[in-house]
Structures are given as structure tokens and as C-alpha cells.
Structure 1
Amino acid sequence: MDNLRGSLWMILAMAAFAVEDTFIKTAAIALPVGEIIALFGLGGTAIFLGLTWARGERALVPEAARPVMLLRIGFEIGGRVFFTLSLAFTTLSATSAILQAAPLVVTLGAALVFGERVGWRRWSAIAIGFAGVLLILRPLPQSFDPASLLAVAALLGFAGRDLMTRAAPPILSRMQLGVWGFAVLIPTGAAMVAVTGGARLPQGSEALALCGAIGFGVLAYYALTAAMRMGEVAVVTPFRYTRLLFALILGAWLFGERPDLLTLAGAAVIVGSGLYTLLRQRRVPPPPAAAR
């Protein structure tokens, strides 16, 4: 029963993430990307500060200044900036499809950075997954869109953030990590606006889009946390890929996106490779305990 509830929480989280992306893309039609990032960070910081204090925790703790946390912040900034730029300049469908390769990149990083054991089958799945990314990018002179590299940069940023989260001090709760993850977006967005200009007070539908992005972003974060704590990780994690389904539906419905055959094929290859990697990970026995 816990696995069923965890899976439902994961599906809710992915649906909320897809709606959040839709609101951000809508806001980016009229507002500068830097302003969106700064206001998104401001709203998320306020909410997570409240949740942190409600749990009797402090946001300012010495562990937040450790080198691994600074690396996490750097990856968080890179992932969020490039992701927002990708939503602004490319389709929701293509951006979401490329980001589905994140579990593959995390698996690769875990092997290279943490020395985790990865057999030849999972290495093969990672390589095939990256081939799926190339199908979407189509790196040929006549069909390549340089803006699609924004999603690749976002993918690397978010994967690096997830890896650094695994190495973060265990004393830091998810709420405290959420505070810092959102807080660093405020000066980042402000710096972007200082360079690009064009900031103005959001009006009407723009303000609603930003509020929607913040609200659904927090809901998604909460649902994701509930899913990972309630069910077995190997059972609930595959439902992350439902985010692509929601993105395809919302992209077609709201923005008139019609992904071509290569994009859909690339997305299918990425999802299939990721699912296989997760299944193989369940079968790999844990390393023997070290002798005392």
C-alpha cells in the first residue's frame, strides 16, 4: 500500500512540475528571464522559510557553507537559469524530453564521482540514452537548433545538483536545502536583469503565471518528498517519466506544439534506457560491508 501511495504522490509531483513549467513558459512570453528567476526564487524562499521555521529548524546553519553545498548552489543556479532559458526559446516538449535523461547522467556521475558500481549493461543503457538525446538535438547543419543546447546545459546542472545533494551533510533537511536552492535564484535573476534590462512590474496574467509557477513548484517539491519517503525508491522512481507525458499534453494543448517523429523517438529511447537502468539498479547487490 505504501508503494501505491508513493507512486501516486510521484505522479502528482510530475504533473505539478509540468504545470509549473507551463506557467514559466507563459510568463517568459512577456517578462525577462532574469526577472522570472528572481521572483520565482523570492516566492519559493518565502514558502520554504516558513516550512523550515514551522519544523523548528534554522535556515542559517554552518553546514550550509561547506564546499559541497557551494557546488550544489552552483549547479542549482546553472540548471535553473538554462532551464528557464530553454523554456523561453524552445518548446516545452523538447525541453522536457531532454531532461528525462537526468537519471542517466546521475548514474554516470555516481560512478565517476562516488565510485558506485555500474555494469556493462547499465553503461550500454546510458550510451543508448544519450543517443536518444542526439535524436532530439539532430546535430546536423541543416536541422540543428543551437537553442536546444540550453536544455542540455540545464540537464547537466540539475544532474550535478542531485549528485551534490547526495553528498550534502545529512543534518540538512530537505526544507533547509529548499531554502538555499531558491534563495540563490534571487541575486542570480537580479544580476541577469541588471545586464539585460527590461524588468517591470508583472501585470494581470503575468502575475498569475508567476504565482502559479511558485505554487505548483512548491506542491511538486512536497509531493516528490512524500513519494520518496513513502514508497520504495526503485518502485516510485520510474513514475518520474510521467512528467514527459504531461508536458507533451500541455505543450500540444496550450502552445500548439507538435513534436515530430525524431523527437518522439528520441524521447522513447531516453525513457526506455532510464527505465532499464533503474531495473538493473534494483538487481545489483549492495557492496559487501567493510571489515571493522
Structure 2
Amino acid sequence: MPADLALQPARANLRAALLVPLAFSAFSGTDALVKRLTESLPVPQVTAMITLVALLLVILAAAATGRARALWPRHPGLAVLRAVLLAGDTLLIYYAFSALPLADAYVLAFLTPVLVALLAALFLHERLSRLAWLGVIAGFAGVIVALKPGETALTFGHAAALGSALLFALSLVLLRRTKAGESDLALVASVLVVLTLLSLATALAAGAFMAVTMGLAGLASLAGLLLFTGHMLLVRAFRLGDASVVAPFQYSQILWGCLYGALFFGAPVESHTLAGAAIIILSGWLVLK
């Protein structure tokens, strides 16, 4: 094989490794703004406002580049199923952000690689190595260390964060099947359309609409911009690089969660949270080996 061809996968993985931290930094910025917004507005309304802004940005991007047709998925069934999973994931994690410190919510979300491994073994009949099974066990041990059950009261926020990790894991399995045949715009637009409709329906059913000030509208617009940016960068990173290269960068969110929590919400950085996060990160690395 020519040397330049041999280097192509490595270059693609390097480009993905440069893009994906930017994606998760954008998502973390959105998360911090969501937590701030939910101090004044209901979670479904916040979700609807943010995703509507992001959806409009996707449509504008498609129109500006003459790719309006790329918004329609080639495989609507898979695209809508993935969109429903991510919509549920988003609503659950936004609720978790409203109820928990950012770092605590992220620790539970870090179970995604472990859950992906379990789902692959369960549904795709992929055999896990002994090292991977060790990683699975270590991942749940890390959750126990981080949450300190018996000393910390477990809430619906913790359950929501765990449910979010499960739905996100399912969406990643589907993304690996759909990414080759779909455009970036279709993958992102389908998620935002379903999430916007679902959050609006939830808000209407709960009667959860409140008056919005200009300041809150500005924060929601900024969060929508960051959400759009994060989705586009994440889809591009998964298209360029191997999943084993891209997925571990999710762990960078614990740093952002601790930073934003301390700066904007006065949340202390607990040693047991960091210890649990470190164990879960190690577990994810073992699963991906």
C-alpha cells in the first residue's frame, strides 16, 4: 500500500480528534445555559426555544449553500428513530441539568461507552473481551463511587441522567449504520425537528409556557447556536474518524462541567465526583480497547 494511502486513516482520525473536543465544548456551553434558563423557565419550554433556534440555523445553512434537498434523509425510518432517541436523550439530560450539579450529571452520562458495549453484545451479538467486561464492571463501580449511595439522596435527576446515557448509546449504534448514507444536514435536521415538536408538545400538555424576557431570549439564542455547532461538529467527527477515537472525547465534558459549575453556579468540585469520573473514564477506555 502506498505510504500516502496508509496515512489517510490516521489523518482522518487526527482531524476527527481535533473536531470532537470543539463539539463537546459547544454542547457543554449549551448545557450551562440550559441550567441557567431552567432557573426561570420550565424545561420543555427551554428545550423548544433552543432547538427551534438551532433548527432555523440548519435551514439557513442549507439554503445558503444550495443544499436544501440535503435536509431530507435518504433513510427516513432510521433517521426518525435516531431523532426520537436523541430527542428523549436531550429532554432527560436537560431535566438532569436543572436538578443536579453539571458535574454529577456528566458523570452518569459518561456511562455511554459502557452501555454501547452492552447493547452491541445484546443486540448485535458482538463478543466482548475479558478486558471489555472488566471495563463494564468498572464503569458501574465508578458510578457508585461518584454518587455515594446512602450518603447522597438519589433523585429523579439521577434517573434522568442514566436514562439519557442509555438513549444516547442507542443513538450512537444507529449513527454507525446511517452515517454513510446520510448528509450531515439530514442527520442534524431530523434530530432538531423531532426534538422541537416533542418539546413543544410536552410544554403544551403541561401548560408550561411562561413569559420570556429579552435577556432570556438572548441566552436561548446563544444556546441554540452552540447546539447547532456541536451537532454539526459531532456528526462530521464521526464521519471522519473511527468511533473508538471519537467517543472517549466525551469525557472532556467533566472538565467543562466542573468549570462552569464553579464559575456560574458556585458548585463545589467534590473529590468523590472526580474519583468516580476517573474510574468511569478508565472503564470506557477498557471497553474501547
Same fold (TM over 0.5): yes
Tell me the TM-score range normalised by the shorter chain. 0.7 to 0.9
Residue in 2 aligned with 1:143? 152
Is 1:35 aligned with 2:45? yes
The CA deviation at 1:4 is: 4.3
Does 220-229 or 27-36 show the bigger shift? Answer: 220-229
* Structure 1 residue 82, shift from structure 2 partner: 0.6
- State the alpha-carbon separation in 1 of the partners of residues 276 and 252 from structure 2: 16
Distance 2:181 2:241 in 1: 22
- Answer whether contact 2:73 2:79 (CA < 8 A) is retained: no
What do the CA deviations read for 1:218-268 (whole angstroms, capped 9, x no partner)? 222233234344555544543332121111111111111113222221111
- Report the counterpart of residue 63 of structure 1 in structure 2: 75
Alpha-carbon distance in 1 for matches of 2:169, 2:43:
22
Q: Hey, what's the Cα distance between the residues in 2 that align with 1:136 and 1:33?
A: 25
| Shift of residue 170, structure 1, vs aligned partner | 4.1
Q: Using a 3 Å threshold, how does the CA distance of structure 1 residues 248 and 195 change in structure 2: closer, same or farther?
A: same
Q: Kindly indicate whether residue 169 of structure 2 is the aligned counterpart of residue 159 of structure 1.
A: yes
The Cα of 1:35 is off from its aligned counterpart by 0.7
The TM-score normalised by the length of structure 1 is: 0.85
Structure 1, 173-182 or 43-52: larger mean CA deviation: 43-52
Shift in alpha-carbon separation, 1:77–1:227, aligned structure 2, 3 A: closer
Paired residues of 1:29 and 1:88 also in contact (CA < 8 A): yes
Unaligned runs of 5+ in 2: 1-9
CA distance in 2, matches of 1:50, 1:227: 22
When structure 1 is superposed on structure 2, of 189-198 and 209-218 the one drifting more is 189-198
Q: Helix, strand or coil: the match of 2:60? A: helix
1:200 Cα deviation from its structure 2 partner: 2.9
Corresponding residue SS for 2:69: coil
Q: Is the 8 A contact 2:135 2:285 kept in 1?
A: no
Contact in 2 for aligned 1:45/1:180 (Cα 8 Å) = no
**How many aligned residue pairs are there?**
276
1:258 is paired with a residue whose SS is: coil
Q: What percentage of aligned pairs have identical amino acids? A: 26
1:69 to partner: Cα distance? 3.9
8 A contact 1:41–1:184 mirrored in 2: no
Residue in 2 that maps onto 1:286 = none
The AA in structure 2 aligned to 1:220 is G
Per the TM alignment, residue 211 of structure 1 is displaced from its structure 2 partner at its CA by 1.1
What's the CA shift for 1:61?
4.9
Q: Relative to structure 2, which stretch is displaced further, 120-129 or 217-226?
A: 217-226
Alignment of 1:89-104 (within 5 A): 89-104=99-114
